[in-house]
Every structure is written in structure tokens, then in C-alpha cells.
Structure 1
Amino acid sequence: MQLQHNSSEFLNNKMNDMNLPHDDKTCGWYAALPPPGPARRLSGRHVADYAVIGAGFAGLAAARRLAAHEPHARILLVDAQRVAEGASGRNSGFVIDLPHKFALENPDPEFKQRLLRLNRTAIDQLQSLVRKHDIACQWSHAGKYQGAVGERGLAYLAHFEKLMSALGEPYRPVEGTELARVLGTSHYSRAVYTPGCYLMQPAALVRGLAGSLPDNVELLENSPVTRVERDGNGGYVLDGADGQIHARRLLLGTSIFTREFGYLENRLLPVMTFASWTAPLNEDQSKRFSGTFDWGLTPADHAGTTLRMTQDRRIIIRNTYRHVPKYGRSVDDGTRERIRAEHRKAFVARYPELADVPFTHTWGGVYAISRNFTNFFGQLEDGVFASACDNGVGAAWGTISGTLLADYAVGAQSSLLDDIHAVTGMPSLNPPEPFLGLGVRTRIRLAAWQSRAEL
């Protein structure tokens, strides 16, 4: 897809017009890692064949693929933060093969098969890199449980089983004592297990991917790009606080922040979801926990609670959504404390015998959704390419869309590129403010109330 862009608007972006990433500093995944080495920052003038903005799953995959296509090209990968501080290091650690819930309801069977091929190619790609570079990220082919608590959740679960049957995908209902033996709680009435999902430590995976980039990819961190303009010769000039990049082509792996460069401005919705996790269970607590270790559960009702037991024996609770028009700056410490208290209630409801286990971290992560649940993939204008809007399934989608974006940028052809063009499109326009914010907040509150039994 190619989007015609208003260049005058694009060229006039300045630092004080942009909402830069402003994530909290309490992400458990990131805090569990050793401190990173010194960051190389954008400084001075650089000339590159390609500039990739955003070092999350999409940007890392795009830079790696560009290097494979053109091993003698100079590729600069630029991020406003340290690698893994942003959204890619803040998710719940699922790499999901199945289409999103809304995509599963698409009436075209081929549409869903294309998504499956794309997601499974991404999983194979990530697994190959984890093995090749010995990335310690708790990578595990654990599958996934989709769980329900009350009648509303059970109705969603029954619908999911019908969709899976129609898709011809394997699944297995799990309930009663069998489910409790896995989860260590009888809180859930029923679940459906699907085998294709992988689990991982997202911050560790992203950092490992960044640390194993090809030699002709140069990573610049803590280097927000605050202005982009044409250079008059068919390329682009990227300005930072202390340096400048002249690049022949530009790839954006910037998700929601794509709109800060003047693209897709009124088509992406910034939503933040929140998680808390416990300290690792000690020996006594592990004995009191009656389940197994290393599993993940997503809610049948999409507004419910995601639950995970990590390989290092931490329990994660993730729920609660906020519309965040200014990203991290839209959320204050008081909001985080209230969310943490709600997570605590959800944790104790599931594991009253572990009520003495403390939470050590509560964090949020911003992602992009669209009103029509459509992902954007394609060319924004001559020499500028983007993958934006993952609609909440970022690990697999970011990996494959970044890879194929590089293919598209260099003119490569493949059946997978045909697939991604077929399943992406233009995110629908949003209504103007204040109607947009009011509508999104109302929808989130209504979903939370309707799904209160699943939280």
C-alpha cells in the first residue's frame, strides 16, 4: 500500500511538536536483566544507505533483512530509548501463531491462512535466531491456554472453539482438576489449549536480537529523531539533538509513534495496557503453589486478565487499559498505584495461599490499535516505508512485517510479501477530539464493567 503524504506537514515537525517515548522505569522484564553496556548515541554527521527508526521487533527485523540483502550497505538503526525499554520489551512474552480474535472472524478462509503463514514464519525466524546466537530469553514452545471464569468468558470460549474448528487448527479443551494442576488455581472454569504459541522473556529477546545484528548495521540508542526532511536528492535528512543522518531510504518501525512524523496521524489509537509481577517464588512458596511452571493464559474475553508463570517462577497479572494520547506522559504515579492495587486483587483471588508473595514491579506499555483492526504495511511516500499498528499482537507481527518491509524496500518478491499485502490495509479515520478521547474512554470503561468477572 502506498500513502500519499502531505510533505509540508512532514517537513515542519520539530522537537517541541513531538510526543517522544516516555515510558515508566518500572518494567520488570527490563529490570531483571543485567545493566546494558554504554549506548552509542547519534552524534555528528552520518551518511547511510538506509536509516531504520525504532529498534523494536519490527525495526530489528527490518535492519537485519536489509543487511542480508545488501551486505555492503551502511544501515543505521536508531532508537529514542535503550533497546528493550520500549513496547517490544514490555509485552507479556507471548509469540502467538493464531490470528487475532477479530481476524479469526474474517469470513475469508484464505485471509486467515495467510495470517497463519506470516505468524509461523516469524516464529521460525525468531527460533532460528535464538538458537544461532544462543539468546538466553526463556524461549519455550509451551503453547497457550485461553481461559474463562464466568458465563461471559465461557460464551467467548465456546465461540473461539467454533472458529478453531472452522479453521482446522488443533486445540484441546481443559477444565476441572486438569486445568487446576497446570495453573495452580481453581479460579478458571475452563480453558482451550492451543499448541502453536511460544513464550519468552521479551526484554531479553529484544536485547539479544540487537546484540547479534550483522556487522553493517550500526545501532544508535538514546537518540530520538526530532525532524525528518527531504534532502533534495531523493533521500532524507534525519535530525537529532546532537547529530544528523543523510539516508537514501527510510524505514519506520515506530508503531504508534509513526504519527509523530506526520503519517497516519488520525488513524492510530495509542492504548496502554499494564502488568505487575511477583518476586520469584521461594522454595516454600513454590511448594504451596500447586501448579506447573512455564505457561501462559490469555483471556477468552479480550478485556479480561492475562496470566503467566515464568520459568524463573514469577507470576504475572496483566489487565487494565488506558487511552494515552501523550503516551507515558498520560499516566501518573497515582494511576499506576491504583492499577497495581487492582492487580493485587486479581492475584489474591487466584492465589490466596500466596498472598504473602509481593509484587516487585508494575509497568505499562503503549501499542497502536485502529478502529477497523487493520494493520498498515507499505510505502508512505517515495523512499519511506512503514509497518504501523500491530493491534496488540506485536512480537510475531513486528518480526514478519519488519522483515517483509525490508524486502519491499529493496524490490524483492515473495509469496509472503503477497500475503502481507493481502491482509493489511488502511486504518480507518478517527473522529476528532474531544469526541475520540471520550469515545475510547467510554468503550474501555464499558468493556471493563462487562468483563468484571474475568478480571
Structure 2
Amino acid sequence: MILPQYDGHCGWYEVLDKVSAFPPVQSNMRVDTVVIGGGFVGCAAARRLAENRPDERVLLIEALKIGQGASGRNSGFVIDQPHKRDLESSDNDLKRKLVTLNRQAIDYLEAQIERYDIDCQWSHAGKYQAAVGPRGEKYLRHYEQLLKGFGENYETLSQQRMQAIFGTDYYSAAIFTPGGTLMQPAALMRGLADNMPDNVQIAENTPVTEISRTDSGFVLRTEQACVKCRQLILGTNIFTAELGFMRDRILPVMTFASMTEPLSDAQMQRFGGELDWGITPADHAGTTLRMTQDRRIIVRNSYRYAHDYNTPQDLLPDLRRRHRVAFDARYPQLGDVDFEYTWGGASSLSGNFETYFGEIEQGIYLSCCDQSVGAARGTISGMMLADMACGKRTDMLRNMMEVSGAPSKLPPRPLLRIGVPMRMAMARYASRSEV
């Protein structure tokens, strides 16, 4: 069984000033509901369960420290729009439901951030999508038509405006959409964990190695103890298959990012742009770029089929060099700015781009195959899994069921290990001008 491992390289987590401690499960116990996985799905599910059933005990189990896994490794976007493939759907009702759910997730997160004064660089900064050359511009024009057809607000940027914001003339075109937010993901996850309701117990560094069913519910085995419960909610991302679910449905894909040291005053002057923005590439195989509120630039590109689930450390030097090439192309004036961290973060995809949400077995609720838009999707999924587990039927849950699908069966793993890297290499070559 492959278990999550922390590599010590996630920049978002490593720059945190302090991290609270939640002890692992060390003795046998019984609770009402166990939530496995302390990411966006798990934290939202645990909180919502506690809100729905304040007199019941909820145990949130995380194999690592909260913020070290996939939810603390993304580029810090909480996107309100449908995924680009969903945006291409002709079903405007479906797209409206997706937007509504994503914005309800943003509102839910923001309410907690404000209530508990969580310091996570939360910002209504929106999102930019940008092109480097003709290939990207073609994708960007298509994106603009999709936004226009769906009635979403957007703004096209002039060359002067792009340079004023991004501090570079590297981009040839960009579109701004105002609805999304930016944040520091590891800081957000730690803030959510530190402010759970009183009836939620958190156990970190507690990987679950086995789940078995009993007449009254389930028994979970960890390295040191057994936990009995009546219901289970799984927010286990690509590790879901290791627990015996969706084994031939989840395609684990890892993307990689590098984070600079904070820019000095002199470097900021040479940079010449603004703080607090994020660019996603018009060509999906291009480069994501972030400038944080604390003067760090993040470059994300390069993909890998994560058949072994964790980040191979011997790949990081080459990935950092790729990020350096993309950084230098955009900021030749910042050659003295060093990368401080390089890391990988995993997403669970499906072969037909469908997400899974629902009761996968009696008493076991699951959300997976987030299609690389996990912050909003994970949050609303966790909330709605908790409502479903509590028998609470709402319009939000109904909408969630209607926008979710059935991930297709994937080819055998030996074929995936050959075919997926080949396809990624072809996409990387086709998109080389946009990186």
C-alpha cells in the first residue's frame, strides 16, 4: 500500500511562521463519523457535519500534516468559473449551476476567513488568462467566445496594461475575469484546521491502512489503533484507490511549481509590476504564473503521470531548470532572483473529464476526480457530502448531483504508464511556444 509522504519542499507550507500540532490517533476509539483526508474536501465536510449535527463526534484524519498534501500545493486560485471543458458545454443551465456552486464555496470559505481572522492572503483579485503567441491567442479567442456566449463578465487587456500589472512584455494577449479569489493555500488549510467546531477532533500523521465493514458501521485501522464509526467520508484525492475505491477510474497527474525568495525593494523596482495576481495559460500545457502579496513569484508548468503518487525527488532539479527557463524568458531583469522551493502537487483526473460525487457504498461518501480545479470544487463537494450523509436535501445538493458524473474506466495501469507520458510529451512539444 502506498501512503502519502511529505518531501519538505512545498513552499507554501515551508514559509508558514508556525504550525499547530494535532496528535495522531494512539488508542482505540469510537466516533459517529470519520472524515479521511484533511484537504479542501475533508475540512469542508468535517465542518459541515459539525454544523449539521452539533451533538455528534466527528474525527478528521490526515495522513500528513494538514496543508502538506495536495490542497496546500496548488497555485492559490479559487476559481468561480466552470472548467474550460465544462465551459464548452452547450448546456447553459449546467454551467450556471457550476458557477453557483463554485461561488457558494467561495462564500463559505470567506465566511470562515473573516470569522476567525485567518491570515492567508485572501483576495478578490480575479484571474488572468494569457497567451504568449499565435497558438495561445487562438485558445484565448475561443475562451473569449465561451465567456461571451455564457454571459460572463471579462475584460481584454492592452499591451500597456499587461506590462503594468505583470512587469513583463512577454505576453501577447490576456483576458481578466473578476469572480475568482487568490490565497495562500497552506495558510488557508491551517487556519481552517485551527478553527474547527468543538465536536471535530483532528488527528494528523495518521494514515489509514485498512477499512472493514461491521454490522454497525466501519473499523479503520491505523498504525497504532483502530477507530470505529457509523459513517465515512473520503476526501483522499489520488490515494482513494489505495483504500480500494475507484481503482480503475482515477488518473493521478502531478504538476510542478517553483517559488522564488521574496523580492527585495531593488528587485521590485526592476520588476515594475503589481503584487497579488495570477495567470493561467490559454494553452493548458503552458505556464501558470503567480505574484503573491509577499513579493514571491511562482512558476508552474510540467506534468507527470503520478503512478507512484508521491514526488520523486530526483526529478526536482530538472523541473527547477524548466521553471528557470520560463522565469528568465519573462523576467530577464531578475536574473539575481533565486528559487527557494520546488515541489509537485497531485490532481485526480478521469478519462472522460467527469467528476465523481456521492455515496459509493452504503455509508461511504466520496468526492474525487476534481479535474485540477480542487479548491472550489473540493470545498463545495465536502459540504454537500456532509449534507448527503446527514440526509439533508437542499437545492445545493441537488445541483451538485446534477453536475457530477461517472468517471470512465481507464486502461490497465501498464498501458497507462506508457500511453499517458507519451501523450504528455506530445502536448508539451505542441505547447512549447506557450511555456
TM-score normalised by length of structure 1? 0.95
CA distance in 1, matches of 2:15, 2:281: 26
The match for 1:428 is 408
CA distance in 1, matches of 2:2, 2:317: 24
Where 1:434 maps in the other structure, the secondary structure is helix
What amino acid sits opposite 1:142 in the alignment?
A: A
Q: CA deviation at 1:35?
A: 3.5
Kept in 1: contact 2:238–2:309 (CA 8 A): no
Match of 1:298 among 252, 277, 280: 280
CA distance in 2, matches of 1:73, 1:332: 41
Structure 1 runs of 4+ aligned residues shifted over 3 Å read none
CA distance in 2, matches of 1:373, 1:32: 34
Describe how 1:306-321 pairs up with structure 2 within 5 A.
306-321=288-303
The match for 2:384 is 404
Q: CA deviation at 1:368?
A: 0.3
What amino acid sits opposite 1:321 in the alignment?
A: Y
CA distance in 1, matches of 2:157, 2:33: 49
CA distance in 2, matches of 1:205, 1:244: 30
CA distance in 2, matches of 1:35, 1:311: 19
CA distance in 1, matches of 2:415, 2:223: 35
The answer to which of 36-45 and 243-252 deviates more is 36-45
Where 2:248 maps in the other structure, the secondary structure is coil
CA distance in 1, matches of 2:314, 2:48: 42
CA distance in 2, matches of 1:433, 1:53: 25
Q: Deviations over 1:323-367 (max 9, x none)?
A: 011111xx4333110000010010010000001000000000111
The match for 2:308 is 326
Kept in 2: contact 1:294–1:308 (CA 8 A): yes
What amino acid sits opposite 1:208 in the alignment?
A: G
Match of 1:199 among 173, 182, 185: 182
The match for 1:48 is 31
What amino acid sits opposite 2:314 in the alignment?
A: G
Q: Deviations over 1:389-410 (max 9, x none)?
A: 1110011011000000000011
Q: RMSD over aligned Cα, in angstroms? A: 0.8
Where 1:396 maps in the other structure, the secondary structure is helix
Q: CA deviation at 1:437?
A: 1.7
Q: CA deviation at 1:243?
A: 1.1
CA distance in 2, matches of 1:276, 1:138: 19
1:184 aligns with 2:167: yes
Where 1:206 maps in the other structure, the secondary structure is helix
Kept in 1: contact 2:6–2:64 (CA 8 A): no
The match for 2:145 is 162
Q: Deviations over 1:96-115 (max 9, x none)?
A: 00001111111211111110
TM-score normalised by length of structure 2? 0.99
Where 1:327 maps in the other structure, the secondary structure is coil
Kept in 2: contact 1:321–1:444 (CA 8 A): yes
CA distance in 1, matches of 2:361, 2:337: 52
The match for 2:203 is 220
Q: CA deviation at 1:37?
A: 3.0
Match of 1:153 among 118, 121, 136: 136
1:171 aligns with 2:154: yes
CA distance in 1, matches of 2:417, 2:18: 38
What amino acid sits opposite 2:434 in the alignment?
A: E
The match for 1:344 is 324
Describe how 1:53-202 pairs up with structure 2 within 5 A.
53-202=36-185
Kept in 2: contact 1:24–1:364 (CA 8 A): no
The match for 1:22 is 5
What amino acid sits opposite 1:183 in the alignment?
A: F
Q: Structure 1: 5+ residue runs without aligned partners?
A: 1-17
**What is the aligned length?**
435
CA distance in 2, matches of 1:59, 1:111: 25
Kept in 1: contact 2:130–2:175 (CA 8 A): yes
Match of 1:251 among 226, 233, 240: 233
% identical equivalent positions: 51
Kept in 2: contact 1:141–1:198 (CA 8 A): yes
The match for 1:289 is 271
The match for 2:363 is 383
Q: CA deviation at 1:298?
A: 0.3
Kept in 2: contact 1:23–1:365 (CA 8 A): no
CA distance in 2, matches of 1:132, 1:347: 37
CA distance in 1, matches of 2:163, 2:7: 34
Match of 1:278 among 260, 277, 286: 260
Q: Deviations over 1:291-345 (max 9, x none)?
A: 11111000000010000100000000000000011111xx433311000001001
Kept in 1: contact 2:239–2:309 (CA 8 A): no
Kept in 2: contact 1:76–1:217 (CA 8 A): yes
Kept in 1: contact 2:20–2:194 (CA 8 A): no
What amino acid sits opposite 2:430 in the alignment?
A: Q
Where 1:237 maps in the other structure, the secondary structure is strand
Q: Deviations over 1:255-294 (max 9, x none)?
A: 1111111111000011110000110000110111111111
CA distance in 1, matches of 2:26, 2:204: 11
CA distance in 2, matches of 1:66, 1:157: 41
Q: Structure 2: 5+ residue runs without aligned partners?
A: none
Q: Deviations over 1:2-39 (max 9, x none)?
A: xxxxxxxxxxxxxxxx2111242101100110242333
CA distance in 1, matches of 2:116, 2:256: 31
